[in-house]
Chain A
Amino acid sequence: MTRLAFAGVSCVRGGRLLFEDRSFDLGPGDAALVTGPNGVGKSSLVRVAAGLLAPATGAVAVEGRRALLAEASALDHDRPLAKALGFWAAIDGQRDAVDAALDALRLTRLADVPVRLLSTGQRRRAALAAVAASGAPIWLLDEPANGLDTVAMQALETLVAGHRAGGGIVLVATHLPIEMPGATTIRLEAA
Protein backbone atom coordinates (compact mmCIF):
# COMPACT_ATOMS: atom_id res chain seq x y z
CA MET A 1 0.00 0.00 0.00
CA THR A 2 1.20 3.48 -0.82
CA ARG A 3 2.12 5.49 2.23
CA LEU A 4 4.13 8.56 3.26
CA ALA A 5 4.38 9.22 6.97
CA PHE A 6 6.42 11.50 9.20
CA ALA A 7 6.78 10.53 12.86
CA GLY A 8 8.15 13.30 15.07
CA VAL A 9 10.43 14.63 12.34
CA SER A 10 12.68 17.59 13.07
CA CYS A 11 14.95 19.28 10.57
CA VAL A 12 18.16 21.18 11.29
CA ARG A 13 19.95 23.06 8.50
CA GLY A 14 23.27 24.80 9.09
CA GLY A 15 22.85 24.59 12.87
CA ARG A 16 19.41 26.21 12.70
CA LEU A 17 16.27 24.35 13.75
CA LEU A 18 13.73 24.73 10.95
CA PHE A 19 10.83 22.66 12.24
CA GLU A 20 10.34 20.27 15.08
CA ASP A 21 8.31 17.20 15.90
CA ARG A 22 6.19 17.09 12.75
CA SER A 23 3.96 14.07 12.27
CA PHE A 24 1.48 13.15 9.58
CA ASP A 25 0.38 10.03 7.80
CA LEU A 26 -0.75 10.02 4.18
CA GLY A 27 -2.39 7.05 2.49
CA PRO A 28 -3.74 6.46 -1.04
CA GLY A 29 -5.65 9.47 -2.34
CA ASP A 30 -4.40 11.76 0.42
CA ALA A 31 -2.76 15.12 -0.07
CA ALA A 32 -0.88 17.50 2.19
CA LEU A 33 -0.29 21.19 1.71
CA VAL A 34 2.82 22.61 3.37
CA THR A 35 2.46 26.35 3.88
CA GLY A 36 4.32 29.09 5.72
CA PRO A 37 6.48 32.17 5.15
CA ASN A 38 9.73 32.18 3.17
CA GLY A 39 12.69 30.37 4.68
CA VAL A 40 10.63 28.47 7.22
CA GLY A 41 11.65 25.07 5.89
CA LYS A 42 8.99 24.12 3.33
CA SER A 43 11.51 22.97 0.76
CA SER A 44 13.53 21.21 3.44
CA LEU A 45 10.43 19.29 4.50
CA VAL A 46 9.95 18.16 0.91
CA ARG A 47 13.61 17.14 0.66
CA VAL A 48 13.33 15.19 3.91
CA ALA A 49 10.28 13.43 2.46
CA ALA A 50 12.30 12.73 -0.70
CA GLY A 51 15.08 11.15 1.35
CA LEU A 52 17.60 13.72 0.16
CA LEU A 53 17.98 15.18 3.65
CA ALA A 54 18.22 13.11 6.79
CA PRO A 55 15.85 14.20 9.55
CA ALA A 56 17.59 15.39 12.73
CA THR A 57 15.14 13.36 14.80
CA GLY A 58 12.15 11.16 14.02
CA ALA A 59 11.53 8.83 11.13
CA VAL A 60 10.09 8.98 7.63
CA ALA A 61 8.14 5.95 6.42
CA VAL A 62 7.74 5.56 2.67
CA GLU A 63 6.01 2.82 0.73
CA GLY A 64 6.01 3.28 -3.01
CA ARG A 65 8.19 5.12 -5.52
CA ARG A 66 8.57 8.86 -5.18
CA ALA A 67 8.73 11.61 -7.77
CA LEU A 68 10.17 14.99 -6.89
CA LEU A 69 9.55 18.40 -8.38
CA ALA A 70 12.37 20.59 -7.08
CA GLU A 71 13.50 24.09 -7.91
CA ALA A 72 15.81 22.81 -10.64
CA SER A 73 14.06 20.95 -13.46
CA ALA A 74 16.84 18.37 -14.13
CA LEU A 75 15.98 18.56 -17.85
CA ASP A 76 18.93 18.85 -20.24
CA HIS A 77 18.84 22.37 -21.66
CA ASP A 78 20.18 21.53 -25.08
CA ARG A 79 17.70 18.74 -25.80
CA PRO A 80 14.21 18.98 -27.26
CA LEU A 81 11.58 18.87 -24.50
CA ALA A 82 10.18 15.45 -25.45
CA LYS A 83 13.69 13.93 -25.55
CA ALA A 84 14.67 15.52 -22.22
CA LEU A 85 11.53 14.09 -20.62
CA GLY A 86 12.11 10.81 -22.41
CA PHE A 87 15.47 10.37 -20.66
CA TRP A 88 13.78 10.26 -17.26
CA ALA A 89 10.80 8.30 -18.53
CA ALA A 90 13.15 5.65 -19.92
CA ILE A 91 14.89 5.34 -16.54
CA ASP A 92 11.46 4.98 -14.91
CA GLY A 93 10.39 2.44 -17.53
CA GLN A 94 7.57 4.76 -18.59
CA ARG A 95 8.59 5.63 -22.12
CA ASP A 96 4.96 5.72 -23.28
CA ALA A 97 3.86 8.15 -20.59
CA VAL A 98 5.63 11.18 -22.05
CA ASP A 99 3.02 12.06 -24.67
CA ALA A 100 0.15 11.94 -22.16
CA ALA A 101 2.11 14.05 -19.68
CA LEU A 102 2.92 16.63 -22.37
CA ASP A 103 -0.73 16.74 -23.30
CA ALA A 104 -1.92 17.09 -19.70
CA LEU A 105 0.27 20.17 -19.27
CA ARG A 106 -0.48 21.59 -22.74
CA LEU A 107 3.11 21.21 -23.87
CA THR A 108 2.55 19.00 -26.93
CA ARG A 109 3.15 21.95 -29.24
CA LEU A 110 6.56 22.50 -27.62
CA ALA A 111 7.74 18.87 -27.78
CA ASP A 112 10.48 19.65 -30.32
CA VAL A 113 11.64 22.90 -28.74
CA PRO A 114 14.96 22.79 -26.83
CA VAL A 115 14.42 23.16 -23.09
CA ARG A 116 16.65 26.24 -22.88
CA LEU A 117 14.23 28.19 -25.09
CA LEU A 118 11.24 27.58 -22.80
CA SER A 119 9.90 30.36 -20.58
CA THR A 120 9.86 30.12 -16.79
CA GLY A 121 6.28 28.92 -16.70
CA GLN A 122 6.81 26.49 -19.54
CA ARG A 123 9.86 25.07 -17.83
CA ARG A 124 7.86 24.62 -14.64
CA ARG A 125 5.16 22.79 -16.61
CA ALA A 126 7.85 20.65 -18.22
CA ALA A 127 9.16 19.69 -14.78
CA LEU A 128 5.60 18.85 -13.74
CA ALA A 129 5.27 16.73 -16.87
CA ALA A 130 8.38 14.81 -15.77
CA VAL A 131 6.68 14.08 -12.45
CA ALA A 132 3.46 13.08 -14.18
CA ALA A 133 5.32 10.78 -16.58
CA SER A 134 7.31 9.09 -13.81
CA GLY A 135 4.44 6.79 -12.88
CA ALA A 136 5.46 7.12 -9.21
CA PRO A 137 2.58 6.94 -6.72
CA ILE A 138 4.03 9.56 -4.37
CA TRP A 139 4.44 13.07 -5.73
CA LEU A 140 6.53 15.60 -3.82
CA LEU A 141 6.01 19.02 -5.33
CA ASP A 142 8.08 21.99 -4.19
CA GLU A 143 6.45 25.27 -5.26
CA PRO A 144 4.74 23.75 -8.32
CA ALA A 145 2.72 26.93 -8.92
CA ASN A 146 5.72 29.24 -9.42
CA GLY A 147 5.48 31.01 -12.75
CA LEU A 148 2.25 29.29 -13.80
CA ASP A 149 -0.59 31.27 -15.37
CA THR A 150 -4.24 30.60 -14.48
CA VAL A 151 -4.72 28.07 -17.27
CA ALA A 152 -1.64 26.15 -16.20
CA MET A 153 -2.77 26.36 -12.56
CA GLN A 154 -5.99 24.62 -13.55
CA ALA A 155 -4.02 21.99 -15.42
CA LEU A 156 -1.91 21.45 -12.29
CA GLU A 157 -4.99 21.13 -10.07
CA THR A 158 -6.61 18.71 -12.52
CA LEU A 159 -3.41 16.68 -12.67
CA VAL A 160 -3.14 16.49 -8.87
CA ALA A 161 -6.82 15.58 -8.51
CA GLY A 162 -6.46 12.87 -11.16
CA HIS A 163 -3.39 11.45 -9.44
CA ARG A 164 -5.20 11.32 -6.09
CA ALA A 165 -8.25 9.73 -7.67
CA GLY A 166 -5.93 7.01 -8.95
CA GLY A 167 -4.74 6.24 -5.42
CA GLY A 168 -1.66 8.47 -5.43
CA ILE A 169 -0.26 10.67 -2.67
CA VAL A 170 0.61 14.32 -3.19
CA LEU A 171 2.71 16.49 -0.88
CA VAL A 172 2.81 20.12 -2.00
CA ALA A 173 4.90 22.92 -0.52
CA THR A 174 3.65 26.26 -1.74
CA HIS A 175 3.23 29.92 -0.87
CA LEU A 176 0.58 30.31 -3.58
CA PRO A 177 -2.98 29.06 -3.08
CA ILE A 178 -3.57 25.70 -4.78
CA GLU A 179 -7.00 24.09 -4.80
CA MET A 180 -6.73 20.60 -3.30
CA PRO A 181 -10.02 19.46 -1.73
CA GLY A 182 -9.61 17.55 1.50
CA ALA A 183 -5.88 18.15 1.79
CA THR A 184 -4.17 18.15 5.19
CA THR A 185 -2.56 21.50 5.88
CA ILE A 186 0.90 21.47 7.46
CA ARG A 187 1.56 25.01 8.60
CA LEU A 188 5.17 25.84 9.35
CA GLU A 189 5.76 28.90 11.52
CA ALA A 190 8.93 30.94 11.84
CA ALA A 191 10.69 29.88 15.06
Chain B
Amino acid sequence: MTVAAALIVRDVRRAWSQGGASLPVAFFLLVAILFPFAVGPDSSLLARIGGGVIWAAALLAALLPVERLVAPDADAGVLDQLAIRGMSMAAVAAAKIAAHWLSFGPPIMLAALIAAGLLGIDHETLCAVELGLLIGTPGLAALAVATGALVAGLRGAGALAGLIMLPVAVPLLIFGAGSIEGGPGAVKLLAAVSLLLLAGAPFVAGAAIRAGRA
Protein backbone atom coordinates (compact mmCIF):
# COMPACT_ATOMS: atom_id res chain seq x y z
CA MET B 1 0.00 0.00 0.00
CA THR B 2 2.79 2.42 0.80
CA VAL B 3 4.36 1.59 -2.57
CA ALA B 4 1.09 2.39 -4.31
CA ALA B 5 0.85 5.66 -2.36
CA ALA B 6 4.41 6.58 -3.32
CA LEU B 7 3.61 5.84 -6.96
CA ILE B 8 0.41 7.89 -6.90
CA VAL B 9 2.17 10.88 -5.32
CA ARG B 10 4.96 10.64 -7.87
CA ASP B 11 2.62 10.43 -10.86
CA VAL B 12 0.42 13.30 -9.70
CA ARG B 13 3.49 15.46 -9.08
CA ARG B 14 4.85 14.61 -12.51
CA ALA B 15 1.52 15.38 -14.17
CA TRP B 16 1.37 18.82 -12.57
CA SER B 17 5.04 19.73 -12.92
CA GLN B 18 5.12 18.91 -16.61
CA GLY B 19 1.98 20.89 -17.34
CA GLY B 20 0.32 17.61 -18.16
CA ALA B 21 -2.62 18.40 -15.92
CA SER B 22 -3.35 21.88 -17.20
CA LEU B 23 -3.15 20.82 -20.84
CA PRO B 24 -6.26 18.60 -20.84
CA VAL B 25 -8.17 21.34 -19.00
CA ALA B 26 -7.19 23.92 -21.61
CA PHE B 27 -8.12 21.46 -24.35
CA PHE B 28 -11.45 20.76 -22.66
CA LEU B 29 -12.30 24.45 -22.49
CA LEU B 30 -11.20 24.98 -26.08
CA VAL B 31 -13.54 22.25 -27.34
CA ALA B 32 -16.35 23.71 -25.27
CA ILE B 33 -15.64 27.13 -26.78
CA LEU B 34 -15.50 25.78 -30.34
CA PHE B 35 -19.00 24.32 -30.26
CA PRO B 36 -20.84 27.69 -30.08
CA PHE B 37 -18.80 28.85 -33.06
CA ALA B 38 -19.88 25.78 -35.00
CA VAL B 39 -23.59 25.69 -34.13
CA GLY B 40 -24.20 29.41 -33.81
CA PRO B 41 -25.13 31.72 -30.93
CA ASP B 42 -28.59 30.27 -30.33
CA SER B 43 -28.66 30.22 -26.54
CA SER B 44 -31.59 27.84 -26.16
CA LEU B 45 -29.97 25.35 -28.57
CA LEU B 46 -26.63 25.67 -26.78
CA ALA B 47 -28.25 25.14 -23.39
CA ARG B 48 -29.97 22.03 -24.75
CA ILE B 49 -26.82 20.42 -26.23
CA GLY B 50 -24.44 21.87 -23.61
CA GLY B 51 -24.35 18.80 -21.38
CA GLY B 52 -23.48 16.57 -24.32
CA VAL B 53 -20.83 19.02 -25.46
CA ILE B 54 -19.19 18.92 -22.03
CA TRP B 55 -19.13 15.12 -22.13
CA ALA B 56 -17.62 15.01 -25.61
CA ALA B 57 -15.03 17.59 -24.53
CA ALA B 58 -14.19 15.58 -21.40
CA LEU B 59 -13.70 12.46 -23.49
CA LEU B 60 -11.35 14.23 -25.91
CA ALA B 61 -9.46 15.81 -23.01
CA ALA B 62 -9.00 12.40 -21.39
CA LEU B 63 -7.49 11.13 -24.63
CA LEU B 64 -4.88 13.89 -24.76
CA PRO B 65 -2.34 12.68 -22.15
CA VAL B 66 -2.66 8.95 -23.00
CA GLU B 67 0.79 8.75 -24.56
CA ARG B 68 2.42 10.14 -21.43
CA LEU B 69 0.77 7.77 -18.97
CA VAL B 70 2.73 4.55 -19.44
CA ALA B 71 5.25 4.83 -22.26
CA PRO B 72 7.76 7.16 -20.52
CA ASP B 73 7.92 4.85 -17.49
CA ALA B 74 8.41 1.82 -19.71
CA ASP B 75 11.25 3.58 -21.55
CA ALA B 76 12.91 4.85 -18.38
CA GLY B 77 12.96 1.38 -16.81
CA VAL B 78 10.63 2.44 -13.99
CA LEU B 79 8.20 -0.41 -14.69
CA ASP B 80 11.06 -2.94 -14.68
CA GLN B 81 12.29 -1.59 -11.36
CA LEU B 82 8.79 -1.92 -9.88
CA ALA B 83 8.48 -5.46 -11.24
CA ILE B 84 11.78 -6.52 -9.68
CA ARG B 85 10.50 -5.17 -6.36
CA GLY B 86 7.67 -7.65 -6.62
CA MET B 87 4.89 -5.28 -7.61
CA SER B 88 2.33 -6.72 -9.99
CA MET B 89 1.84 -4.66 -13.11
CA ALA B 90 -1.92 -4.66 -12.46
CA ALA B 91 -1.26 -2.94 -9.12
CA VAL B 92 1.02 -0.44 -10.86
CA ALA B 93 -1.72 0.22 -13.41
CA ALA B 94 -4.28 0.70 -10.62
CA ALA B 95 -1.99 3.27 -8.97
CA LYS B 96 -1.55 5.00 -12.32
CA ILE B 97 -5.33 5.12 -12.80
CA ALA B 98 -5.77 6.74 -9.38
CA ALA B 99 -3.01 9.24 -10.10
CA HIS B 100 -4.36 10.03 -13.56
CA TRP B 101 -7.83 10.61 -12.21
CA LEU B 102 -6.50 12.91 -9.46
CA SER B 103 -4.66 15.04 -12.00
CA PHE B 104 -7.47 15.10 -14.54
CA GLY B 105 -10.88 14.42 -12.96
CA PRO B 106 -11.24 17.27 -10.44
CA PRO B 107 -9.69 19.88 -12.79
CA ILE B 108 -12.13 18.87 -15.54
CA MET B 109 -15.01 19.16 -13.08
CA LEU B 110 -13.87 22.67 -12.18
CA ALA B 111 -13.44 23.57 -15.83
CA ALA B 112 -16.96 22.27 -16.49
CA LEU B 113 -18.22 25.16 -14.33
CA ILE B 114 -16.63 27.61 -16.75
CA ALA B 115 -17.85 25.66 -19.77
CA ALA B 116 -21.37 25.66 -18.32
CA GLY B 117 -21.20 29.44 -18.14
CA LEU B 118 -20.00 29.70 -21.72
CA LEU B 119 -22.74 27.41 -23.00
CA GLY B 120 -25.48 28.93 -20.87
CA ILE B 121 -26.35 25.71 -19.06
CA ASP B 122 -28.80 26.14 -16.20
CA HIS B 123 -28.11 25.25 -12.59
CA GLU B 124 -29.96 21.93 -12.49
CA THR B 125 -28.34 20.61 -15.64
CA LEU B 126 -24.96 21.68 -14.34
CA CYS B 127 -25.47 19.68 -11.15
CA ALA B 128 -26.40 16.63 -13.22
CA VAL B 129 -23.35 17.12 -15.44
CA GLU B 130 -21.02 17.45 -12.45
CA LEU B 131 -22.46 14.34 -10.81
CA GLY B 132 -22.06 12.46 -14.09
CA LEU B 133 -18.47 13.63 -14.44
CA LEU B 134 -17.70 12.59 -10.86
CA ILE B 135 -18.97 9.10 -11.63
CA GLY B 136 -17.73 8.85 -15.20
CA THR B 137 -14.23 10.35 -15.11
CA PRO B 138 -12.72 7.47 -13.08
CA GLY B 139 -13.87 5.17 -15.89
CA LEU B 140 -12.30 7.51 -18.43
CA ALA B 141 -9.04 7.54 -16.44
CA ALA B 142 -9.02 3.73 -16.30
CA LEU B 143 -9.61 3.54 -20.02
CA ALA B 144 -6.85 6.07 -20.68
CA VAL B 145 -4.27 4.10 -18.66
CA ALA B 146 -5.25 0.80 -20.30
CA THR B 147 -4.97 2.42 -23.73
CA GLY B 148 -1.67 4.01 -22.81
CA ALA B 149 -0.31 0.61 -21.81
CA LEU B 150 -1.57 -1.00 -25.01
CA VAL B 151 0.03 1.54 -27.34
CA ALA B 152 3.26 2.09 -25.32
CA GLY B 153 6.27 1.65 -27.54
CA LEU B 154 4.32 1.67 -30.80
CA ARG B 155 4.92 4.12 -33.61
CA GLY B 156 2.06 6.55 -34.15
CA ALA B 157 0.85 5.72 -30.65
CA GLY B 158 -1.22 8.90 -30.37
CA ALA B 159 -3.42 8.22 -33.40
CA LEU B 160 -3.72 4.56 -32.49
CA ALA B 161 -4.74 5.49 -28.94
CA GLY B 162 -7.69 7.42 -30.29
CA LEU B 163 -8.80 4.50 -32.45
CA ILE B 164 -8.62 2.12 -29.49
CA MET B 165 -10.04 4.33 -26.79
CA LEU B 166 -12.89 6.26 -28.40
CA PRO B 167 -15.07 3.28 -29.42
CA VAL B 168 -14.73 1.73 -25.95
CA ALA B 169 -15.63 5.07 -24.39
CA VAL B 170 -18.91 5.30 -26.29
CA PRO B 171 -20.97 3.68 -23.48
CA LEU B 172 -19.57 6.23 -21.02
CA LEU B 173 -20.51 9.01 -23.40
CA ILE B 174 -24.04 7.66 -23.98
CA PHE B 175 -24.83 7.09 -20.32
CA GLY B 176 -22.92 10.17 -19.21
CA ALA B 177 -24.83 12.50 -21.51
CA GLY B 178 -27.98 10.45 -20.93
CA SER B 179 -27.72 10.81 -17.17
CA ILE B 180 -28.28 14.57 -17.48
CA GLU B 181 -31.93 14.07 -18.26
CA GLY B 182 -32.35 10.38 -17.71
CA GLY B 183 -32.70 10.42 -13.95
CA PRO B 184 -31.40 7.90 -11.41
CA GLY B 185 -31.59 4.93 -13.81
CA ALA B 186 -29.18 6.50 -16.26
CA VAL B 187 -26.83 7.51 -13.43
CA LYS B 188 -26.75 3.88 -12.27
CA LEU B 189 -25.95 2.69 -15.79
CA LEU B 190 -23.16 5.26 -16.01
CA ALA B 191 -21.81 4.07 -12.66
CA ALA B 192 -21.98 0.46 -13.87
CA VAL B 193 -19.98 1.21 -17.01
CA SER B 194 -17.46 3.26 -15.04
CA LEU B 195 -17.06 0.48 -12.47
CA LEU B 196 -16.63 -2.13 -15.18
CA LEU B 197 -13.85 -0.11 -16.78
CA LEU B 198 -12.23 0.55 -13.39
CA ALA B 199 -12.30 -3.14 -12.50
CA GLY B 200 -11.06 -4.42 -15.84
CA ALA B 201 -8.55 -1.78 -16.91
CA PRO B 202 -5.76 -2.59 -14.39
CA PHE B 203 -5.64 -6.17 -15.61
CA VAL B 204 -5.70 -5.20 -19.28
CA ALA B 205 -2.98 -2.62 -18.67
CA GLY B 206 -0.93 -5.06 -16.56
CA ALA B 207 -1.08 -7.72 -19.26
CA ALA B 208 -0.17 -5.16 -21.92
CA ILE B 209 2.84 -3.96 -19.92
CA ARG B 210 4.05 -7.53 -19.42
CA ALA B 211 3.56 -8.35 -23.11
CA GLY B 212 5.41 -5.21 -24.14
CA ARG B 213 8.41 -5.98 -21.95
CA ALA B 214 11.31 -6.32 -24.34
Q: Which residues from chain A sit less than 8 Å from chain B, CB to CB? A: 50-53, 65-68, 70-78, 87-88, 90-92
Contacts and interface: CB of A to CB of B under 8 A. Distances in A.
B77 A73 contact: yes
**Main SS of the interface on chain B?**
helix
Contact of B85 (A71, A72, A76, A91): A91
Contacts of A71: 77
Interface of A is mostly: loop
B14 to A, nearest CB: 7
Interface residues of B, number: 18
Interface string B60-100: 00000000000000011110111111000000000000000
Given A72-B75, A91-B3, A91-B6, A52 B85 contact: no
Contacts of A76: 10, 14, 76
Given A74-B78, A90-B2, 4 more contacts: A71-B77, A77-B76, A78-B14, A88-B81
Interface in B181-214: 213
Contacts of A67: 84
Contact of A68 (B3, B6, B80, B213): B80
Contacts, number: 49
10 contacts: A51-B83, A52-B83, A53-B213, A68-B80, A72-B76, A73-B76, A77-B76, A87-B10, A91-B3, A92-B85
A66 B85 CA distance: 7
B127 to A, nearest CB: 39
Given A68-B84, A73-B77, A52 B18 contact: no
A70 to B, nearest CB: 5
Contacts of B78: 74
A68 B80 CA distance: 9
Nearest to B77: A72
Pick from A53, A77, A91 the residue with the most CB of B within 10 Å.
A91
Contacts of A73: 76-77
A87 B6 contact: yes
B70 to A, nearest CB: 14
Contacts of B18: 78
A70 B77 contact: yes
A44 B42 CA distance: 64
